[in-house]
Structure 1
Amino acid sequence: MTIKEVEELSNMTRANIRFYEKEGLITPQRDSNGYRNYTEQDVDILKRIRLLRTVHLGLEEIRSLSEKESELTDVLLIHLRTLKKEQKDLEQSKAICEQMCKDRAAYESFDAEHYFNFLNKAPSEIPAELEADSLPKVTAPWKRYFARLIDEAIYLIFWNLILALGFHMNIRQTGWAFAVIGIIMQSVLLLMAEPVMLSRFGTTPGKFLFGFRVSAESGARLTWREAYDRTGIVLKRGLGFYIPVYGLIREYSSYRDCKKGEILEWEEDNILTLDERHMRWKVIAAVLVLGVLDVLNYFVWQAGALPQNRGNITAAQYAENFNDMQKFYQIDHQLNLPEFLPPLGDSRKLLNQDGDWEKMSGKPYIVGTGVDYPELPELQFTEKDGALTEISFSSEYKDENVEIPVYGDLMALASLSYICAQEEYNLLLSPPSRLYNRVKEYGDQCSDFMINEAGVKVQASFDYSGYEIRQAQYGSSDVLVPVYGEDVYFHVDFRIWQE
């Protein structure tokens, strides 16, 4: 039986039939071609539903009957009591309306308290009509959470831009002190940005994506002061000032209250509305935006590694770039020594404009290690018309008592300090950290390589025998260790240049 035939037999619309099918009250079979095939039993069920709905029986009661959780007689007896109560209420309503007509009551002057006395209800009892006349409370805690997450990601990018471009800091390795400063700045940025957006547009980027709007109780936009007060309460009571652990407690408490439908503290003098149309696409858009923001934050991090001196740099400017690059990648040990575990007070050496290495004043340095390590190779600079055109070094060892730290960090720092300074260098195509890891991998494996990037060529060649690469005895990085009883030889040439 087709759905058209079922419409005629049951006196229901197609939309009704599809609805009851979705609710599981009927389950038509499907033919081999996928079309629904209704039976006489389906029609009988629909007729029963139509009758029960006509006498105002609720859908939940009908579902319980369909699932054999209740008996029809029991359900009808309860329904009868409800109908009698409703009938009594209607009779009272009818009597009051008739009395008000007899009294010729006017809306501007009738005494409501006088007519309340005709009702057989407690004054505190709220009629169903009054409950229906209230504005629906927007809960949607997860949508609200992700909307705020998008806003916070935007604020974080602005703060990271300041750190990366203004101070050339590695935003992924800032330490506990800057973590505390970051929490404070996140709160400051929230208090600066959100009130402006709420007072000007009634929403924020995250709220806009999900369809949230905030307005005054009158329906007008919030004033800046009202928006500022609202954001301040959100920061304090909803986010716990982003303080670890305490912030999570406040967020969970807000989530629980929101899910219960309670009015949150920051919602008492304003109204939050939600446009739920096209919500699936809104969620997809929000996920995409979060992904884009994450990628953007990655490139902000990479931008912090860009050297301050760019273009046709001098040897002195190159040395500044190298020292800044060491600081960015937080290489705090001498590059001719393995990275020790635990830290024993070692400090990095600075490169000067002559290619020599200098100790920083007031910093501790490891002197005796129990193992002989070679000195850092001196870098050779070639300049043309005052601009640096080539950097190189060469090292050779034949002493079986010397352990040689791998050259990955030194070669990577030397390469990036020049490549990233070129005008042709493109951050998006070749992020610094990716380039750093590429060079470091070759250098740590003592493998020959040639790299061409931004018009700069980097070449390294290794020649060694009688050595094996293994982890340093007192450190976490690798070294070349002489093999006992074998003749040892090591030679490396490294060169960076422009053609």
Structure 2
Amino acid sequence: MNIGQLEAALGMTRANIRFYEKEGLLSPTRSENGYRDYTGSDLDTLRRIKLLRQLQFSLEDIRAMQTGALDLPAALRQQEARLQRRANDLDAARALCRTMEADGVQYRDLNAGKYLEEMVRLEQGGVRFQSVERDALPTVNHPWRRFFARSLDFSLCRLLLDAVLALGFRTTAGDGLMWGLLMAYLTWGVQFLLEPLLLSTWGFTPGKWLFGLAVRNADGGKLTFSQAFGRLSVLFGRGEGWGIPFYTLYRNYKSMRALEEGEVLLWEETCAYTIRDLRPVRWVGFLGAEATLLAVSLLLGLHVLVPPVRHPLTVAEFSRNYNAALRRYGGAETYVLDADGGWVKVAPAGTYSIGLSDPPPALQYTLEDGVVTGVSFTTSAAPSFLNSNDSLALFSLLALLPAQPEVGLHNWYFASRDTTSQLGGSFEDFSFTRYGLTITNRVDYSGYEAVGEHYLLPIEGQTQTFRQTFSITAAG
């Protein structure tokens, strides 16, 4: 039978039936089309549940009876005793009401202390009156779930900032304490915009949603933007220590201890904090979200590391890649390439870049249908401490490499390291092929003495000659 027939047979609502399924008290089968198929056994189970719930049995007791952990006769005896205690408590409350009525007191003249003292005396005899402890907005005393929900939200905001830097400016945040503080406060700025917006529209943030958490106002509705902003402002100061290093950890610790002791945190005194369930699968979702954030962060980092054009290059696109590699990998921006592939000096007049010819040798381009298939240069300037073309060869290689079909974001780091590690010095002959590129350096010199792996010094009294031809050629 379907759920409509079950509702009609039992006088229960669909919400009731779904609730008992969620609690694990009912497990209907599924038909081939995916719909629930209720049997006569399911109908009997729901009748038992309805009867026992109307006798005020708890869900835990019903579950224990279903599993055989609790015998029905024993459960009935326990419930009868509970109901009798409740009846005694109600009788005591009725008697106290009659006493107050007989005293003829009015609300304005009510001496509550006198009757509260009587309540204390009765409670000492075993009577239990209704407690006022429940007269408070609900809160969630699960500090680790709350901590990781907020940390996930913070990580998402930081990822948004990183995405803006990587996709908009092709850069990343710097290192060091000051950069760390700047990015932390910028991330809080993003959170101060997004969290109130999400709480006022959805009632939860991504981190809270993963853990089944929600924030509501005293009436059970969603917070307004200003209420959510005010809540976050108090949390930022009292819970996060205004983002001050180390003090933040102290405030986190104090907040977690307060939750463990059942206290209501200052920023939750005027709102309700609820949790849907404590299913372990929510931790799986959290770990999956963190893994996704890490993967996206790595992709953004690779996007910044890899030169911007990753398809067959025109001369202008080669120049763009060359200049990007120059900036990213620490080259001195004395000369850059223009859209025509020629050198333009960008440093102030009189500036000299150590380690690069001034001016660098002109690059020659081999083109096929407007696409760069080869880059080369020839120079007669011998490599020295103040004059070397090692960086020119390096950045030319890094500019052409991402255009090769064999190279992508997934293997850029290894491909770039593997290829550039094969480069020799400016006065060394070498030739190798990697990822569809053949890199060749041919050198002929005399009257020089090698110093280290990258420099030549002229030998006094000898005639100096030097010629270097470096080329990178894509496979045809």
The TM tier, using the shorter chain, reads: 0.5 to 0.7
The CA deviation at 1:240 is 3.1
Residues in 1 aligned to 2:406 and 2:129: alpha-carbon distance in whole angstroms? 70
What is the match of residue 299 of structure 2?
Answer: 299
- Residue 451 of structure 1 aligns to which amino acid in structure 2? R
What is the match of residue 437 of structure 1?
Answer: 417
Alpha carbons 1:163, 1:304 under 8 Å: kept = no
Residues in 1 aligned to 2:369 and 2:204: alpha-carbon distance in whole angstroms? 57
> Residues 91 and 259 of structure 1: is their aligned pair in 2 closer, same or farther, counting only changes over 3 Å?
closer
> Residues 425 and 248 of structure 1: is their aligned pair in 2 closer, same or farther, counting only changes over 3 Å?
farther
TM-score (norm 1): 0.60
The CA deviation at 1:120 is 4.4
What is the match of residue 119 of structure 2?
Answer: 119
Aligned pair 1:208/2:209, yes or no? yes
The CA deviation at 1:383 is 4.1
- Residue 443 of structure 1 aligns to which amino acid in structure 2? L
The CA deviation at 1:387 is 5.0
Alpha carbons 1:462, 1:492 under 8 Å: kept = yes
Write out per-residue CA displacement over residues 431-470 of structure 1, whole angstroms, 9 at most, x where no aligned residue: 4x44322322222698743233xxxx322246799xxxxx
The CA deviation at 1:180 is 4.3
Residues in 1 aligned to 2:442 and 2:129: alpha-carbon distance in whole angstroms? 89
Write out per-residue CA displacement over residues 239-292 of structure 1, whole angstroms, 9 at most, x where no aligned residue: 234333333333233223233322112111111111224x21110111011011
The CA deviation at 1:192 is 0.8
Residues in 1 aligned to 2:176 and 2:62: alpha-carbon distance in whole angstroms? 67
What is the match of residue 152 of structure 2?
Answer: 150
Trace 1:341-380 onto structure 2 (pairs within 5 A): 347-353=332-338, 356=343, 358=345, 360-361=347-348, 365=352, 378-380=362-364
Residue 97 of structure 2 is aligned with which of 95, 100, 103?
A: 100
Residues in 1 aligned to 2:349 and 2:386: alpha-carbon distance in whole angstroms? 28
Alpha carbons 2:376, 2:469 under 8 Å: kept = no
Alpha carbons 1:412, 1:436 under 8 Å: kept = no
- Residue 361 of structure 1 aligns to which amino acid in structure 2? P
Query: Greater relative contact order: 1 or 2 (C-alpha under 8 angstroms, separation 6 or more)?
Result: 1
What is the match of residue 227 of structure 1?
Answer: 228
The CA deviation at 1:223 is 1.2
What is the match of residue 247 of structure 2?
Answer: 246
Aligned pair 1:416/2:398, yes or no? yes
Trace 1:462-481 onto structure 2 (pairs within 5 A): 479=454
Residues in 2 aligned to 1:127 and 1:410: alpha-carbon distance in whole angstroms? 87
The CA deviation at 1:296 is 0.3
Aligned pair 1:497/2:467, yes or no? no
The CA deviation at 1:418 is 3.4
Residue 458 of structure 1 is aligned with which of 388, 413, 437?
A: 437
- Residue 280 of structure 2 aligns to which amino acid in structure 1? R
Residues in 1 aligned to 2:414 and 2:147: alpha-carbon distance in whole angstroms? 33
Residues in 2 aligned to 1:209 and 1:95: alpha-carbon distance in whole angstroms? 46
What is the match of residue 53 of structure 2?
Answer: none
What is the match of residue 344 of structure 1?
Answer: none
Trace 1:47-446 onto structure 2 (pairs within 5 A): 94=91, 97-98=94-95, 100-101=97-98, 113=112, 115-116=115-116, 118-121=118-121, 129-130=130-131, 133-134=134-135, 137-169=139-171, 171=172, 173=174, 178-277=179-278, 279-305=279-305, 307=307, 314-329=314-329, 331-332=330-331, 347-353=332-338, 356=343, 358=345, 360-361=347-348, 365=352, 378-383=362-367, 388-393=372-377, 407=390, 410-420=392-402, 427-431=408-412, 433-443=413-423
- Residue 246 of structure 1 aligns to which amino acid in structure 2? Y
Alpha carbons 1:199, 1:222 under 8 Å: kept = yes
What is the match of residue 432 of structure 2?
Answer: 449
The CA deviation at 1:319 is 2.6
Residues in 2 aligned to 1:350 and 1:240: alpha-carbon distance in whole angstroms? 47
Residues in 2 aligned to 1:350 and 1:366: alpha-carbon distance in whole angstroms? 9
> Residues 380 and 241 of structure 1: is their aligned pair in 2 closer, same or farther, counting only changes over 3 Å?
farther
- Residue 423 of structure 2 aligns to which amino acid in structure 1? G
Residues in 2 aligned to 1:100 and 1:363: alpha-carbon distance in whole angstroms? 99
- Residue 396 of structure 2 aligns to which amino acid in structure 1? A
The CA deviation at 1:204 is 0.7
Q: How much is the aligned-residue C-alpha RMSD, in angstroms?
A: 5.1
> Residues 117 and 203 of structure 1: is their aligned pair in 2 closer, same or farther, counting only changes over 3 Å?
same
Residues in 2 aligned to 1:256 and 1:481: alpha-carbon distance in whole angstroms? 68
Alpha carbons 1:230, 1:267 under 8 Å: kept = yes
> Residues 283 and 391 of structure 1: is their aligned pair in 2 closer, same or farther, counting only changes over 3 Å?
same
The CA deviation at 1:294 is 0.6
> Residues 462 and 388 of structure 1: is their aligned pair in 2 closer, same or farther, counting only changes over 3 Å?
closer
Alpha carbons 2:382, 2:388 under 8 Å: kept = no
Alpha carbons 1:303, 1:427 under 8 Å: kept = no
Q: Which runs of 5+ in 1 are unaligned?
A: 1-11, 21-45, 55-86, 333-346, 466-471, 483-488
